[in-house]
Amino acid sequence: DKRGFDIAIGNPPYVRQERIAPPLVPREKVTNEIKKLYKDKLEASVRAHFEGRLPRKLDRKSDLYIYFYFHGLSLLNPKGTFCFITSNSWLDVGYGKNLQQFLLENVHIKAIYDNSAKRSFTQADINTIIAVFSAPFRQKGDGLIYPAKFAVFKKPFEDTINAENLIEIEGVEDTLDTDSYRVISIPQKKLLEEGWEYPENITEEHKKAFSFSVGKYSGNKWGGKYLRAPEIFFTILEKGSHL
């Protein structure tokens, strides 16, 4: 099946939720009702591609680039690759939970790259990450057998990005810390578990029996925990993995 593109590369516009409106309507004529109807259309367009896979109604506080993630993924053929550079806000804020859950269940999160030494766009007033995913799998839940990788570069990308380093990062199965970058690999199922919220009265036995059919995903601070956390956090993680 070769329908769709081999790769989708993008840097979607950064538009805060309160400014999302039809692009062809003059700003002075945009009303709250027009904004609401436009967001309804944006969500409907996403659901047209992924009906049954979206966890819940998309958060109306989502910035515009969130919709681009879903549409970019919908353009790929089954063996395609997705690569976006966007704001890192979805990794930690509430509206990111919809995208996080969708990614964990439906794609392989091959890598999320950050750079602690240099911004990707020095003139931009936002912090960015580079996200690399597989195309969506045929069945919801197929993504849970894969590991997600979070990689932080300690030097400018132009000084550290090369084939040898990327191959090494791809092969990391746990954690790796070098002078140039730090990588942590975490099962996507574990990430889903970390952000899953069960009813208060449910027992541990029932949690195992019902898995993710009871409760909801409430989000997780991927950026704060796996990209920007201090070195001691990763030292503890690495020691814990060997117990």
Q: Which residue has the higher pLDDT, 243 or 202?
A: 202
48 φ/ψ angles, rounded to the nearest 5 degrees: -60, -30
Number of structural domains the chain divides into: 1
Tell me the residue range of the domain where 18 lies: 5-241
DSSP string, the chain: ---SEEEEEE------GGG---TTS-GGG--HHHHHHHHHHHHHHHHHHHTTTS-SSPPTT--HHHHHHHHHHHTEEEEEEEEEEEESGGGTSTTHHHHHHHHHHHS-EEEEEEESS--SSTT-SS-EEEEEEEPPPSSTTGGGGSEEEEEEESS-HHHH-SHHHHHHHHT-SSEEE-SSEEEEEEEHHHHHHHTEE--TT--HHHHHHHGGGSSEE----HIIIIISS-HHHHHHHHHHHT-
pLDDT of residue 65: 96
Give pLDDT tens digits for 102-120: 999 999 999 999 998 876 5
Q: Is the pLDDT of residue 154 over 60?
A: yes
pLDDT above 70 as % of the chain: 90
pLDDT of residue 119: 64
Q: Among 119-128, 180-189, 213-222, 224-233, name the one with the lowest average pLDDT.
A: 119-128
Give pLDDT tens digits for 44-98: 999 999 988 987 789 989 999 999 999 999 999 999 999 999 999 999 989 999 9
Q: Is the pLDDT of residue 208 over 90?
A: no
Considering the chain, what is the average pLDDT of its residues? Answer: 90
The answer to whether the CB of 188 falls within 8 A of the CB of 148 is: yes
pTM assigned to the model: 0.90
CA-based end-to-end distance of the chain? 44
pLDDT of residue 211: 74
Q: Which residue has the higher pLDDT, 215 or 168?
A: 168
CATH number at residue 40: 3.40.50
Q: Is the pLDDT of residue 126 over 80?
A: no
Q: Which residue has the higher pLDDT, 212 or 11?
A: 11
